[in-house]
Structure 1
Amino acid sequence: MTDALDRLDLLGLDADLSDDNRLLRDTVRKFADDRLRPNIRDWYEAGTLPARELARDFGELGVLGMHLSGYGCQGSTAAQYGLVCAEVEAVDSGLRSLISVQGSLAMYAIYAYGSEEQKQRWLPHMAAGEAIGCFGLTEADSGSDPGSMRTRAVRDGSDWVLNGSKMWITNGSVADIAVVWARTDDGIRGFLVEPGTPGFDVADVHHKLSLRASVTSSLHFNEVRLPADAQLPEAAGLRAPLGCLSEARFGIVCGVTGAARDALAATLDYAGTRTQFGRPIAGFQLTQRKLAELAVSLNQAELTARRLAELKDAGRLTSQQVSFGKFANVRAALEICREARSILGGSGITTEYPVLRHALNLETVYTYEGTHEVHTLVLGQALTGIDAFR
């Protein structure tokens, strides 16, 4: 597929990579080709993922929390993190979700809002993949409006007592630590909850048609008693979990370009070898029009990801710009995969080719960490100055 990848780089973006970034990209790509690609079809069809084993592999690769500094983390640039997300999501969005939930949600929450003791205890082990984290914000009746969450924590002496539930939690049943957000008398606060704590139960979500190679769970809290030092001391209000989501959305902006690129490269190869009416279907004008439009969309998405990485590394990335990236890139990636599937015809509906699997995964990415509609309204507010959420 290397030749197809080269042909898809219409703007010559690969030539602008620094030597260090190209080495990182190639290292992760080789790991993905050797360790992930041979297994992803089986994991997806079975609806399973060896998450603990993969977490250790990703830890050895140095990509868990790689954009954080200290505590065993690499202190990498946003551009480098974006390259990793793209290469991993080129295999499957579920695999990138494991990395981004670990590093940009769970680890980042502890890094940004935790005490020094919490950072020292958890971050080195999480960076090494020895401990897995999850991020409990979404509830069954509280998705796009996280401020309406019902999970509540109340003080009882020096302790906290937690009640409620969370839904659609990646890594939930394999997590060694759960970052849980709850309403308190002082506003929304974050807590670290360990499995095995009395009253804390986890159940996996089954029968998924998307992100099947990913662990998705519900978390349930029934009179869960937590010590005072389980609270994230610097997390005050909804701003804290939303800050974590902005961090994670950047990885999505970059990652989905990998899924779209992989789907389009597989389609380009197929079109060059599939013969109808005595010639490869790549030689027909309608097919070439589709391929041209999809390749332009891909390159535009990659430009958006690269620009946001530049802004992030310069410390100038805003939440509205992140919304721009998720709005534009996930929509583009999903449309690329859907249209690419049409070129493959009947072959496109099987897992022999990655195209429809990527499209099905992107249906979830289109919704999670801010639905497409929510990001539409974020951009609308930025343009008009008027809040249309309520």
Structure 2
Amino acid sequence: MGNQIVDRIREAGVVGAGGAGLPTHVKADATVDTVLVNGASCEPLLMSDPYLMEHEVETMIRGLEAVMDCTGAKKGVVCLKGKHAKAMESVRAAVARDPRGRLEAFELGDFYPAGDEQVLVHEALGRTVPERGLPLQVGAVVSNVETLYNVARALDGVPVTERYLTVAGEVRQPMVVKVPVGTPVADVIAFAGGATIAEYRVVDGGPMMGKVLPDASSAVVTKTTSGLLVLPPDHNVVVRKVMDPVRVRQITNTVCCQCSRCTDLCPRHLLGHALHPHKLMRVFAGQDLESDIAKEALLCSECGLCEKFACPMLVSPREVNAQIKKELMKAGVKWTSSGKPLETNPFREERRVPTARLLQRLDLVDYDTHPGYVGEFIPSRVRIPLRQHIGAPAVCVVAEGATVKRGDLIGEIPEKAMGARVHASIDGVVESVADGMITIKA
């Protein structure tokens, strides 16, 4: 039965909807005792997961039970913040209806990053994932809400062709909306009434870990797009994300005062991991990338708390860590654990960062409108990337001029590679296949 479910998940092209897009059939083909549903929605402003937990909870639960059957898990825990009262009510009711008694609801505190999977595992299960490790190593699998929604649909033979996302910021009508994968970002913004300012930048994802799109006019929604935030070009969320990497290092080497606040508030450091961001800030000032301190960058989750909240000098430990990590991975440098048991910092709970304070620091309070679902938007044309996930890009299996229906396979997993299938998201004609994109005109 488990193998059949894994096959259905693979055939439907399900990937992690809450992060980098790990193909879900890879995660489901494991053995654990617990499956955690990541409903933390910990990035400020994003509201699609609470909507799904409130209105599509039975579908999500069906996906959760499928992953539990695959992995042999005896327990499934739905984790969400108590502030989403209606979603919590729906989840508790669904859990109570479970005839086998395998499901639980776990109420998370309203802090960032409650949705970091290693933080989530510690909060819900009291287990600490090893440095540079995976929840699998402590008997858990973590899946996002929309991922499990897509797993349930995969069991019905429905592939991933759409995405729920939040549109917020400087738009006339903030909203949660469902759109086909490949929908142009510009079309989504127009559907939200358009931008309220002439000059703006768009963040794909949340304000902490999302990426500023280089060109919103040519960007599209992918399977991992959780939100589109329209912000002024000089907004602090935008400016810090687009700063030249060389300039970041120059500022760091000049300004960092080694106060260690970034380390004090680092979520991974508080779990007991050997990560000291303030020490890493000196690596580009002459330290060897092969040093033990430099290797600590491999432990960074790039949550951005050090950059957006902790640093009083307004420099970016996150960006410096990311640059060091990139160089280490390029050189094939591996992390070697000391082997000592990990000890959680005794001040961990006191050093959690409340989301409300983070919103104030980010200057996003005016945009925190908790928008509701407005329905589905279907564009006249989609541009579907063949790479929307960790692993190898899909191989195009359709030709220009072909007529396709929504759900038709258009991209296959390369042989003997880790990847995910890609499907047509609207009915139409394949207009072009170029630059890793398949364009379909309705």
Give your verdict on TM over 0.5. Answer: no
TM-score tier, shorter chain, comes to under 0.3
In terms of fraction of residues, the more helix-rich structure is: 1
**TM-score under structure 1 normalisation?**
0.24
**TM-score under structure 2 normalisation?**
0.22
